[in-house]
Amino acid sequence: MDGTIRKPIVYVVSDSVGETAEFVVKAVASQFNSGHVEIKRVPFVGNVETLLDVIEDAAAVGGMVAYTLVLPELRRVIMEESERRGLITVDVMGPMMDAFARLLHIDPRLEPGLVRRLDEEYFRRVAAIEFAVKYDDGKDPRGLMLADVVLIGVSRTSKTPLSMYLAHKRLKVANLPLLPEAEPPQELFWISPNKVIGLTINPQQLNGIREERLKTLGLHVGANYASLERILEELAYAEKVMRKVGCPIFDVSNKAVEEVANKIMQIIKEEEPQHGA
């Protein structure tokens, strides 16, 4: 014997990745200077045989098992076998699930890996929001090539609100204002028209919206920006560009952002099978 004192082993067992249980174990271990135990993570435990092997190993070295198992049959096995062997175990998730079931009066979904999937959805949403901010209002035409959806239209046709709404649905959206004085970037004609959405609006409604915008900014409502003549010129030019692109055109007049966004998402979903063809 070399006289080396072996550290107790804490087996972290999960039917998913095991990050939650390992985080809790490390947080507790830090209260004991962390270095007094060795942590072994055993992820994706989905059957009784694998679980029994871990219990056998832990019992053989006098270790402990911390687990996040959502399937009732696996939780039952580990409780029964650990009690039979005198093995220390900690159910990290079970008591909280039971408490939620009592609080909400519904049963849990019992799907391993839900936390990780929810985390992934959250980070995709954050990335989509950051994308929408970065490529808002035609700031960088390279975003048109990277986007899931490209919104084009004249000023005040809800391009930015729609971009942010769709970003919360985890879609990467770029938007581009169309002005008669500025040619659209070439990238607009390089991408598939299936992912471009043209936005138009009733001229009189846009006139009112722009006048209110000028008032908010403390500017004169008679400015060319809000004149009906200028608006008609811009809308005609925008429609010409949209026809050239060959994209669908949505009239946003008197429509809520949610209503238009839902129609856009429906079109995107309809196009998805064609992308994989």
In the chain, % helix, strand, coil (3-state, to 5) comes to 55, 15, 30
At which residue do the structure tokens 């500017």 appear? 219
- H or E, element range at 115: helix 114-134
Q: What is the pLDDT of residue 197?
A: 97
**What's the CA gap between 187 and 143, in Å, rounded?**
9
Structure pTM? 0.61
Mean pLDDT is lowest, of 3-12, 74-83, 199-208, for 3-12
Q: Average pLDDT of 29-43?
A: 84
Give residue 107's pLDDT band: very low, low, confident or very high (50, 70, 90): confident
Residue 90's SS3 state is strand
The more confident residue out of 102 and 158 is: 158
**Residue 274 pLDDT greater than 50, yes or no:** no
Phi, psi of 33 (to 5 degrees): 65, 15
Q: What is the DSSP letter of 17?
A: -
At 37, is the pLDDT very low, low, confident or very high (cuts 50, 70, 90)?
confident
CA distance 145 to 224: 33
Q: Give dist(CA 179, CA 237) in Å, integer.
A: 7
Q: Which residue has the higher pLDDT, 234 or 100?
A: 234
167-193: average pLDDT: 95
190 vs 21, higher pLDDT: 190
Domain 9-112 belongs to what topology?
Rossmann fold (3.40.50)
| Nearest alpha carbon to residue 11 among 37, 40, 43 | 40
Q: Count of residues for the chain?
A: 277
Tell me the H-state helices in 135-275.
142-146, 159-167, 187-190, 203-216, 228-245, 257-275
Q: How would residue 152 be classed by pLDDT, with cut points 50, 70 and 90? A: very high
**18 has pLDDT over 80:** yes
- State residue 132's pLDDT score: 94
Helix, strand, or coil (residue 149): strand
- Note the pLDDT of residue 276: 43
According to the model, what pLDDT value does residue 116 have?
57
Lowest-pLDDT choice from 67-71, 151-155, 195-199: 67-71
Q: How far apart, in whole angstroms, are the C-alpha atoms of residue 120 and residue 7?
A: 35
| Domain limits, CATH 3.40.50, in the chain | 9-112, 122-275
What is the rounded average pLDDT for all residues in the chain?
88
Contact 163, 151 (CB under 8 A): yes
Backbone φ, ψ for residue 66 (5° rounding): -110, 130
**Which H or E run contains 22?**
helix 19-29
Instruction: Answer yes or no: are the C-beta atoms of 214 and 220 closer than 8 Å.
Output: yes
pLDDT tier, 277 (very low <50, low <70, confident <90, very high otherwise): very low
What CATH class has 122-275? alpha beta
Which range, of 32-36, 172-176, 236-240, 246-250, averages the lowest pLDDT?
A: 32-36
